[in-house]
Amino acid sequence: MKSLRSLLATFRFWGLMSLLLTLVSIRRIMFGPKRRTWSFVFELVVSFMKYSGKISKPKPESIEGLRRRTGIPPKIRARAKQMRTKVEGVRGEWMIHDTVGDSPRVILYLHGGAYCLLSSKTHRSLTAKFSKMARAKVLGRRSNNF
């Protein structure tokens, strides 16, 4: 049964890759690269990361487990504030620990995942710790995924 699941997952992966290969090729022929500096392979990888989560949705229990594991720990949550913001059209979230005070320090936190995997919500634990340890305000970019 396990080998059948892995075989189906392999077919799903290559089916998605062939679809994206076709779509990216057609889009590049008609309109050129999505960004001037993007190579074909890079554009293919970005498209794969963007659409793979939409095609094979993760199970709700795994998403909830991820949220539980990455949430702000109770000790830090009680002493850290979150504030949503928008800077020149880009949505963000400030994480400010009580120890920051009037400190002028600011950390811009850009998590990995090409902004199509995870978000500032899943990194709150980390940004709260950064704010506490550096005694600085931490600004993280918000995305639509979680």
pLDDT in tens, 38-88: 888 888 888 877 777 666 666 666 666 766 666 655 566 668 888 888 878
- Domain residue spans of the chain: 2-57, 71-141
Strands 137-141 and 80-87: unpaired
d(CA 81, CA 75): 12
d(CA 144, CA 146): 6
Q: What are the two backbone dihedrals, phi and then psi, of residue 141, each rounded to the nearest 5 degrees? A: -80, 135
> Does 17 or 118 have the greater pLDDT score?
17
Would the pTM of this model clear 0.75, i.e. be above it?
A: no
Structure tokens at 25: 């090729």
Given this model, what pLDDT does residue 59 score? 65
